[in-house]
Amino acid sequence: MKRLHVRLADGRLVHGALGFAALWSALPRTAWLGRVASLPPVAWVLELAYRSFLRVRGLWRPATATSAALPGNAAAPGARGSANLPWTKGLIADLRSDHAGEVGAIQIYRGALAVSRDQAVRSFAQHHLATEIDHLRCIERHLPRRQQSRLLPAWRLAGWLTGALPALFGPRVFYATVAAVETFVDRHYAEQIERIDLSLLEAGPDAAGSQLAALRADLQACRDDEVRHRDEARAAGPATNAWVRAWTASVGAGSAAAVSLARRL
Ligand SMILES: [Fe+2]
Ligand SMILES: [Fe+2]
């Protein structure tokens, strides 16, 4: 992790800027860049830039060795902890976004319950709220507490507003919002389950593999609930006008932005 090294086809080892030049030369689209980068004056300048970069790189990514929890994956530093979970860095990021999402989902229904007097909306929200609380407990069993998002207050507020604002405009806008959120959440869980399936192929039947299989089963159960939530919302009141469609599109885009932020923070 301290310096890039590349083994060439003839067995020679090159490193630093020449290593990058060798990689670029080997790829069709960047072969031209590789040729330019290996010219002596260019290579010297790139090497200088690479060394400067290495000096500041430690500020956000310490050059420590990481052990592989699953073949082909680096374990997240500190991810094992007392729960002894074999999660990779990518899986922790996924779970952090799931946790943030379920925290937000709970607030969506609390927001709706705070402003809506419509009996159908209220019983829909109460019923969904209970499921989202179960989801949050489930994700918390798999995600070490110190790995939770540092932006949880922001996710709570965003969730509450995502439930309360449309509920103020009436049941149909609220149901359309829930349908948009759950459509996004279904895709989010599906992509994550696909990645876990790939890891399971590599992990085999050891302890890490069985923990991963248990996580997969839990995520699939959450996903099944979200699909049910989506279908109930769609059946209750489809989005009909352009304003509602624009709002639900922005809810989908906002959910995607929130996930990518929650994966990091
Ligand atoms: Fe949920
Ligand atoms: Fe849900």
For residue 186, how far is its CA from the centre of ligand 1 (angstroms)? 9
For residue 199, how far is its CA from the centre of ligand 2 (angstroms)? 26
First to last CA, the chain: 23
Angle at 151 between CA 147 and CA 152, to 5 degrees: 80
Going by the DSSP 8-state scheme, the letter that residue 195 receives in this structure is: H
Give the closest ligand to the alpha carbon of residue 222: 1
CA 138 to CA 225: how far, in whole Å? 13
* pLDDT computed for residue 204 by the predictor: 64
CA 34 to CA 153: how far, in whole Å? 47
The model carries a pTM of 0.64
Domain ranges of the chain: 5-65, 74-264
Query: Could you tell me which of 190, 164, 183, 157 has the C-alpha nearest to residue 239?
Result: 183
For residue 177, how far is its CA from the centre of ligand 2 (angstroms)? 12
For residue 190, how far is its CA from the centre of ligand 1 (angstroms)? 13
265 residues of the chain, pLDDT tens digit each: 678 889 888 888 889 999 999 999 999 889 999 999 988 889 889 999 998 888 777 665 543 333 333 333 334 433 433 345 668 888 899 999 999 999 999 999 999 998 999 999 999 999 999 999 999 999 999 888 888 888 888 898 999 999 999 999 889 899 999 999 999 999 999 999 988 888 777 766 676 677 888 888 999 999 999 999 988 888 887 667 888 888 888 888 888 888 888 888 8
* pLDDT computed for residue 178 by the predictor: 93
CATH architecture assignment, domain 74-264 = Up-down Bundle (1.20)
For residue 185, how far is its CA from the centre of ligand 2 (angstroms)? 8
Task: Annotate 42-78 with DSSP letters as a single string.
Answer: HHHHHHHHHHHHHHHHTTTS------EEETTEEBPTT
For residue 182, how far is its CA from the centre of ligand 2 (angstroms)? 6
3-class secondary structure, 13:
strand
Give the closest ligand to the alpha carbon of residue 102: 1
Give the closest ligand to the alpha carbon of residue 183: 2
* pLDDT computed for residue 203 by the predictor: 65
CA 173 to CA 246: how far, in whole Å? 11
* pLDDT computed for residue 214 by the predictor: 86
For residue 73, how far is its CA from the centre of ligand 1 (angstroms)? 27
For residue 22, how far is its CA from the centre of ligand 1 (angstroms)? 46
